[in-house]
Amino acid sequence: MFKTYYIKPTSISTQLMLVVVLLCFGFNLKAQSLSELKTIAAENNLQLKAQFKAFEAQLEGVTQAKSWQDPNLSFGYFISPIETRVGPQIAKFSLTQMLPWFGTFKAKGDIAAYKAEAEFEKFQDQKLKLYLNVAEKYYDLSALRYIAELEAKQLQILKDLKSIVKSNYENNKANLVDILRVELQIDKQLSVIQVLKDQDQALATQLNQLMNRQLKTPVLISNPKQILDQKEVMQTDSVSKNHPRLEAIRHLKESNKAESVLAKKQAMPQFGLGLDYAIIQDRNVMNAGAGQDAIMPMLSVSLPIFGKKNKSRKREASLQGESIQFQLENEKTRLETEIQVAQYKQDELYSLLDLYEKQLLNLQDILQLSEVALANASMEIEEVLRLEEERLLYEKQQAKTLANLQKLNETLIYLTSNSEL
């Protein structure tokens, strides 16, 4: 007696629509995994390259710190020659080399080396943050493309609903306004798909920027739903003892210890070795050594008698050490806090996922009944549209929640990484 219509979300027309959406999004022919994208970013990212060059520049300071001071060479010419027993002295050359206290060079070298290692740990941390940024953009893009698939399916469902309403209208079981309502929803759906296309291009551009490649390079993600459904939970109890953020501060702490040693060395005398060469003019002085130039070795010693300056250096190194220790303790607390917050968010998102799954199961049963009722003209199209929109909303929220879970997992990987990665 009554015609019954069933909405098929996986019809051939729907599949064709998905293909069109994928082509419109400009995908490449070859999909790249997240690990491959991370590798590309690590090799090409400009900010990471800049950080590594900063480390290499800091490393050059080790050679400079261990280098000897330049010797001093001086020349003096006597306008009025000084008469000596063997003749008048007309000019003098002096060469002096200062020698610091024993162990000073080693202390300076240690300071520079530890600072260079701290800079390297900053590079390691920058690399881990880059991996995290790439992963976040990757999962955002995966969620966006899965949502684009959902929107394309929704468009096909609306077209099927339009067919049902149109059939009811031809049988005087529906009004023309019902057809117009569905057409309005179809136009809205087409606009949503276009907006998603623009957002896709923006996210792909950001991802390409992180990898330092052409901004319009297509980014292919095969099976976004499967990527989002990977529910590998990152379990951790505490912060990694070798996290780069902690290691960088520890190296600064070691550098400070070397500065304390240097402060003690600088309170000791410095030695100077020198050589004076005096030019004596030969004026036929009746002397066996007449006109013979004079050579005089010299030894000098600095006198560190201003104790206030030396005490200030030691006090400065001690205060810096206390400051670095506070920084280390604070960084440990920050990392632990960030881990706990991420874990709380994980639990919250899993609760939301359970809710969405239950709601979607209930809505699926209701929609099957409502579709039959609509075909039999016993339900208004507004209610069916509302239910379809509610189902789509839950599916999109589910996709976004899955993406947020993946990003939280990557965040925990970053927070628990060590400097050896």
How confident is the model over 33-92, as pLDDT tens digits? 999 999 999 999 999 999 999 999 999 999 888 888 888 989 888 887 777 766 777 888
Specify the CATH class of 12-67+100-268+304-415 in words: mainly alpha
- For residues 82 and 88, is the Cβ–Cβ distance under 8 A? yes
Position 7 confidence tier, pLDDT thresholds 50, 70, 90: very low
pLDDT of residue 412: 92
List pLDDT tens digits, range 176-186.
Answer: 888 899 999 99
Minimum mean pLDDT range among 17-21, 208-212, 305-309: 17-21
- For residues 273 and 291, is the Cβ–Cβ distance under 8 A? no
336 vs 23: which has the higher pLDDT? 336
pLDDT of residue 365: 87
User: Which is nearest to 160 in space by CA: 349, 380, 6, 377?
Assistant: 6
Average pLDDT over residues 346-353: 93
Average pLDDT over residues 179-207: 94
**H helices present in 211-243, as ranges:** 224-228
Position 10 confidence tier, pLDDT thresholds 50, 70, 90: very low
Please state the domain extents for the chain. Answer: 12-67+100-268+304-415, 73-99+272-303
State the Cα–Cα distance between residues 11 and 71, nearest whole angstrom.
Answer: 87
> How many other β-carbons are positioned within 10 Å of the β-carbon of residue 409?
19
pLDDT of residue 232: 67
Of the segments 23-37, 82-96, 242-256, which one has the largest average pLDDT value? 242-256
Residues 6 or more apart in contact with residue 360 via CB below 8 angstroms: 391, 394, 395, 398
pLDDT of residue 287: 58
Question: Is residue 89 within a helix (H) or strand (E), and if so which, with residue range?
Answer: strand 87-99
For the entire predicted model, the pTM comes to 0.83
155 vs 286: which has the higher pLDDT? 155
In the chain, the percentage of residues whose pLDDT exceeds 90 is 54
Average pLDDT over residues 241-263: 93
Mean predicted lDDT score pLDDT of the chain: 86
State the Cα–Cα distance between residues 41 and 210, nearest whole angstrom.
Answer: 6
pLDDT surpassing 90 at residue 408: yes
pLDDT surpassing 50 at residue 23: no
Average pLDDT over residues 183-210: 95
pLDDT surpassing 80 at residue 284: no
Position 252 confidence tier, pLDDT thresholds 50, 70, 90: very high
pLDDT surpassing 90 at residue 137: yes
State the Cα–Cα distance between residues 390 and 398, nearest whole angstrom.
Answer: 12
pLDDT of residue 134: 97
Minimum mean pLDDT range among 1-5, 400-404, 408-412: 1-5
pLDDT of residue 368: 86
92 vs 130: which has the higher pLDDT? 130
Question: Is residue 293 within a helix (H) or strand (E), and if so which, with residue range?
Answer: none
State the Cα–Cα distance between residues 249 and 419, nearest whole angstrom.
Answer: 12
